[in-house]
Amino acid sequence: MDDSVFIPQLKDAHVVIVGMGLMGASLGYDLRGHCRRVTGVVRRPEAVAETEASGCVDDATLDAEAVVAAADLVVLATPVRTILRQIAKLGPQMKPGGVLLDMGSAKTEICRALAALPDHVQGVGGHPMCGKETAGLAAAQPGLYRDCTFVLCPLPRTAPAAFSLAQEMVDFIHARPLLLEPQRHDRLVAAISHLPYLSAAGLVSYVMGVAETDPAVWDVAASGFRDSSRVAASDVRMLMDILLTNRWAVLEATDDFVGRLTELRDALAGSDEERLRAQLTAIAAARRNWEKKRQSH
Amino acid sequence: MDDSVFIPQLKDAHVVIVGMGLMGASLGYDLRGHCRRVTGVVRRPEAVAETEASGCVDDATLDAEAVVAAADLVVLATPVRTILRQIAKLGPQMKPGGVLLDMGSAKTEICRALAALPDHVQGVGGHPMCGKETAGLAAAQPGLYRDCTFVLCPLPRTAPAAFSLAQEMVDFIHARPLLLEPQRHDRLVAAISHLPYLSAAGLVSYVMGVAETDPAVWDVAASGFRDSSRVAASDVRMLMDILLTNRWAVLEATDDFVGRLTELRDALAGSDEERLRAQLTAIAAARRNWEKKRQSH
C-alpha cells in the first residue's frame, strides 16, 4: 500500500454495511453514533425507508456502487455466495486504502476473492460466531456481538492500519477477535457450526418420518429435541451458501461424526456397558468443561 | 381390585417419593403442603438432613420398605434400572390400593415389571418430558413440571380410582397428561429424546477428536454447538439406564437418523442444490411449525 494513503480510526470512518439483515442491522445499531457515518445498503426499494425508520443506520440506499467509493470501511453482511459476487463487483470501486471486511461463514473462497482484488483495496476476511435462527431486520438488536468470537483473516498483503480498523470495530462491538488462517477457520467451523446444522436438519428430517405414521411424536418432543434441533430452523438460503462454499470440510466432518456416532451405537448394540459408560463419561466431562470455560469469559 | 379398597384424593394422600434428585425433589417442592404428607426416600445417610433442610418434603428417610407400606402413592424417581429393582422390592410391601407410579424414561420394561406385581398394587407407568442437564437435589426447583407433557401408561388392570390419583397429581403440578401404550411411548421418546442424546454425544466426541490436533475448535464453538450438544452433558448413569432399557428403539432410531443425514450429505456431495434446498426448506418449516405450536400451549 502507498504509505501516503490515510486510514482513519473508527470514530472518523464512514462505514457502509451491505445487507440489512440480522447481522448487518445489528452491527449498525452498535456502530451508529460512534462513527462519522453509518450507511446501510439494501436490495428492495421499500427497505430504504424501513431501514432508516429502524434507527440502525444514518442513511440507507439501494446504490452500493455509489456509496462504497467514498467509504473508509465496507462490511459485507450478506449470504456467502452474494458476498463473493459483491467482492468482485464492489471491491474495484473502493478508494485507495478503503477496507473491505466481510462477515461470511466460509473463509477460504472469500479470502481468495479478496486477494484477487486490485492492490489498493484492503481486504480482511471476518466471521462473527454468533447469530440466531430468526433472520432479518426485525430480528436485529444492539449487543448481538457482545462476547462472541469474531474470527479475522487478514490477507498477507493487508496493511497493518487496515487490519487495525477492522480489529477496532470488533473490539468496539465487544466481540473477541481471533486470528485464523482461512482453511483452518473453515475446518473448525465445519466441525462446530456447519455439521451441527446438518445434523440438526437430519434429526428433524428423521422425526418428520416418524410423524408420518405417528404424529404424536411432535407432542412428546421437549427441551432435548428443542435444543438439539434449534439450528435446523435457520435461514435456508444463508445455510445453503455456507454448505456449498465449505462443502469439502462439511462432508469430511459429517463422515467423521457418523463414525463417532456409530462407535457409540455399536457399544450400545453389543450391550458393552463398560465401553459405553467410559465414552459417555468422557464426553459429558468435555462438554461441561467447555461450558465452564465459556461462562468464565 | 377389591371394591372396598379406598383410594384417597391427592390432598388426603400420603405421598412417598423415592429418590431425591432433580425430578423427585422438584416434585416434592410442588406437592408439599398440598398432600397429607410428603416423604422423601434417600440412599445416603447424610442426605436425610440435607433433604429435610431443603424444604422439599415433610420428612426424609433411608428406610423405603417401612414407609411405602403405609403410603397411598409411591413415586419412583430414580434411574430406570433402579426403578426396575425397586418395583420388585417395594411393590409387594405396599398396602391394598396403594398406587405405584414411576417417572422413568423407558416404559415397556417398567410396565412389564409393574404388571408382574401382586394384584393389590395399583401400577401406573409415568414419564414427565422435562428435566435439565444438571442433576441432584441442588438443581431441583418448584415448577419444573409446569407445561411439560407427562406420559401416563396405566396397566390394563389399573383401577380407575388409582389412575385418577396419578392423573390428579399430574394436573396439580401443571403438567399435561398424555396416555400412551408403553411400546409406542418408547418408540417416540427414542426419536425425540434418546436419539438426540446419542447424537449430541457423537457430536461432542467428534469435536474432541478435532481438538486433539487443533484445540482452537473449543474457542470458535458458539451457540449452535452449545444447543446442539447440550444434552451430552446429562447425567451419564441416568442415560446409560435409559439407553440400555430402550436399546432396540434407540438403535433403530439411530440407524434411521444416519440414513436421513446421509441423504442430506449426498445431496451436498453431488452439489444437488435443488434437492438440498427443497429438503432443508421443508425441514426448517417443520421445525418452525413445531416451535409455534409448542409456544401456543
pTM of the entire structure?
0.86
B66 pLDDT higher than 90? yes
Provide CB contacts within 8 A for B253, sequence distance 6+. Answer: A206, B187, B190, B191, B194, B195
On the CB side of B237, how many CA atoms lie within 13 Å of its CA?
Answer: 9
B133 pLDDT higher than 80? no
- Condensed to tens digits (0 to 9), the pLDDT of residues A169-184 reads 999 999 999 999 999 9
Q: What is the mean pLDDT of residues B152-175?
A: 97
Q: What is the pLDDT of residue A2?
A: 57
User: Closest residue of B to A216, CA-based?
Assistant: B188
Q: What is the mean pLDDT of residues A13-18?
A: 98
Q: Is the dihedral of CA A136, A56, A31, A75 positive or negative?
A: positive
> What CATH code would you report for B10-180?
3.40.50.720
A65 pLDDT higher than 90? yes
User: Closest residue of A to B271, CA-based?
Assistant: A244
Closest CA to A183 of A77, A81, A110, A121: A110
Chain centre to alpha carbon of residue B42: 19
CB pairs under 8 A between A and B: 287
Cβ–Cβ gap B264/A151 under 8 Å = no
Q: Which residue has the higher pLDDT, A24 or A297?
A: A24
- Condensed to tens digits (0 to 9), the pLDDT of residues A78-91 reads 999 999 999 999 99
- B10-180 and B185-295 agree in CATH topology: no
* B264 Cβ under 8 Å from any chain A Cβ: yes
User: Closest residue of B to A197, CA-based?
Assistant: B224
* B47 Cβ under 8 Å from any chain A Cβ: no
Which long-range CB contacts under 8 A does A217-221 form with residues at least 24 apart? A217/B188, A217/B191, A217/B192, A218/B290, A218/B293, A219/B149, A219/B178, A220/B129, A220/B149, A220/B151, A220/B178, A220/B180, A220/B185, A220/B188, A220/B189, A220/B192, A220/B193, A221/B129, A221/B192, A221/B290, A221/B294
Contact, A170 vs A146, CB < 8 A? Answer: no
**Residue A2: Cβ within 10 Å count:** 9
Nine cell digits for residue A256: 467423521
Q: How far is B289 from chain A (nearest CA, A)?
A: 10
Q: Is the dihedral of CA B222, B224, B226, B232 positive or negative?
A: negative
**Within B135-246, where are the H helices?**
160-172, 182-189, 195-213, 217-220, 223-229, 236-245
Q: Of how many residues is chain B composed?
A: 297
* A128 Cβ under 8 Å from any chain B Cβ: no
Q: What is the pLDDT of residue A193?
A: 94
Q: How far is A250 from chain B (nearest CA, A)?
A: 9
Q: Which of B197, B207, B265 sits opposite A251 (nearest CB)?
A: B265
Q: Which one-letter amino acid corresponds to residue B152?
A: L
Q: What is the mean pLDDT of residues A217-226?
A: 93
* B195 Cβ under 8 Å from any chain A Cβ: yes
Q: What is the pLDDT of residue B153?
A: 98
B4 pLDDT higher than 70? no
Q: How far is B276 from chain A (nearest CA, A)?
A: 8
Q: How far is B78 from chain A (nearest CA, A)?
A: 18
The CATH H-level superfamily of A185-295 is: 6-phosphogluconate dehydrogenase C-terminal like domain (1.10.3660.10)
Q: What is the mean pLDDT of residues B267-284?
A: 97
B148 phi and psi angles, rounded to 5 deg:
-90, 155
Q: What is the mean pLDDT of residues A115-141?
A: 92
User: Closest residue of A to B234, CA-based?
Assistant: A284
> Which chain B residues are within 8 Å of A224, Cβ to Cβ?
131, 192-193, 196-197, 231
**Start-to-end Cα distance in chain A:** 37
On the CB side of B99, how many CA atoms lie within 13 Å of its CA?
Answer: 30
Cβ–Cβ gap A232/B287 under 8 Å = yes
* Banded model confidence at residue A248, pLDDT cuts 50, 70, 90: very high
Q: Which of residues 146-165 of B touch A (CB under 8 A)?
A: 148-149, 151
* Banded model confidence at residue A135, pLDDT cuts 50, 70, 90: confident
Q: Which of B261, B263, B265 to mutate to test the interface with A (most CBs of A within 10 A)?
A: B261
Q: What is the pLDDT of residue A170?
A: 98
Contact, B257 vs A206, CB < 8 A? Answer: yes
User: Closest residue of B to A194, CA-based?
Assistant: B224
Q: Which residues pair with A219 in a beta bridge?
A: none
The 3-state DSSP class for residue B151 equals: strand
A283 pLDDT higher than 80? yes
Element containing residue B273 per DSSP (H, E): helix B273-295
Q: Which one-letter amino acid corresponds to residue A71?
A: A
Cβ–Cβ gap A220/B290 under 8 Å = no
Contact, B286 vs A250, CB < 8 A? Answer: no
Q: What is the pLDDT of residue A3?
A: 59
* Banded model confidence at residue B5, pLDDT cuts 50, 70, 90: confident
Q: What is the mean pLDDT of residues A31-47?
A: 97
Q: What is the mean pLDDT of residues A132-156?
A: 93
Q: What is the pLDDT of residue B295?
A: 84
Which of the residue ranges A259-268, B36-45, B126-135, B201-210 would you say has the lowest mean pLDDT? Answer: B126-135
A146 phi and psi angles, rounded to 5 deg:
-55, 130
Q: How far apart are CA A142 and CA B113, in angstroms?
A: 56
The percentage of chain A sitting over the pLDDT mark of 90, rounded to a whole number, equals 93
> Which chain A residues are within 8 Å of B226, Cβ to Cβ?
291, 294
> Which chain A residues are within 8 Å of B219, Cβ to Cβ?
149, 178
Cβ–Cβ gap A269/B261 under 8 Å = no
Nine cell digits for residue B252: 433403530
Q: What is the mean pLDDT of residues A186-195?
A: 96
Give whole-number Cα distances, A244 to A237, B158, B272, in Å: 11, 56, 10
Cβ–Cβ gap B284/A234 under 8 Å = yes
Q: What is the pLDDT of residue B36?
A: 98
Q: How far is A98 from chain B (nearest CA, A)?
A: 28
Q: What is the mean pLDDT of residues A114-125?
A: 97
User: Closest residue of B to A224, CA-based?
Assistant: B193
Give whole-number Cα distances, B63 to A7, B60, B189, B241, in Å: 76, 9, 33, 24
> Which chain A residues are within 8 Å of B258, Cβ to Cβ?
202, 258, 261-262
User: Average pLDDT over chain A, rounded to whole?
Assistant: 95
Q: What is the pLDDT of residue A255?
A: 98
Closest CA to B57 of B104, B11, B9, B17: B17
Cβ–Cβ gap A222/B149 under 8 Å = yes
Q: Which of A193, A220, A254, A265 to mutate to test the interface with B (most CBs of B within 10 A)?
A: A220
Give whole-number Cα distances, A143 to A23, A34, A125, A172, B18, in Å: 11, 14, 21, 11, 46
> Domain coordinates of chain B in residue numbers?
10-180, 185-295
Q: How far is B143 from chain A (nearest CA, A)?
A: 15
Q: What is the pLDDT of residue B134?
A: 81
Q: How far apart are CA B283 and CA A239, in angstroms?
A: 13
Contact, B20 vs B53, CB < 8 A? Answer: no
Nine cell digits for residue A276: 459405553
On the CB side of B28, how many CA atoms lie within 13 Å of its CA?
Answer: 31
Q: How far is B70 from chain A (nearest CA, A)?
A: 34
* Banded model confidence at residue A131, pLDDT cuts 50, 70, 90: confident
Q: How far apart are CA B192 and CA B158, in angstroms?
A: 28
User: Closest residue of A to B217, CA-based?
Assistant: A188
Q: How far is A56 from chain B (nearest CA, A)?
A: 24
Q: Which one-letter amino acid corresponds to residue B177?
A: P
Q: Which of A204, A210, A263 sits opposite B283 (nearest CB)?
A: A204
Cβ–Cβ gap A256/B209 under 8 Å = yes
Cβ–Cβ gap B251/A269 under 8 Å = yes
Q: What is the pLDDT of residue B148?
A: 92
Contact, B57 vs B38, CB < 8 A? Answer: yes
Q: How far apart are CA B162 and CA B158, in angstroms?
A: 7
Q: How far apart are CA A251 and CA A234, in angstroms?
A: 19
User: Average pLDDT over chain B, rounded to whole?
Assistant: 95
Sheet hosting strand B122-128, strand order edge to edge? B59-61, B37-41, B14-18, B73-76, B99-102, B122-128, B149-154, B176-179
Q: Is the dihedral of CA B219, B223, B225, B231 positive or negative?
A: positive
Cβ–Cβ gap A263/B205 under 8 Å = yes
Closest CA to A198 of B276, B210, B137, B250: B276
The 3-state DSSP class for residue B184 equals: helix
**Residue B271: Cβ within 10 Å count:** 10
Q: What is the pLDDT of residue B2?
A: 57
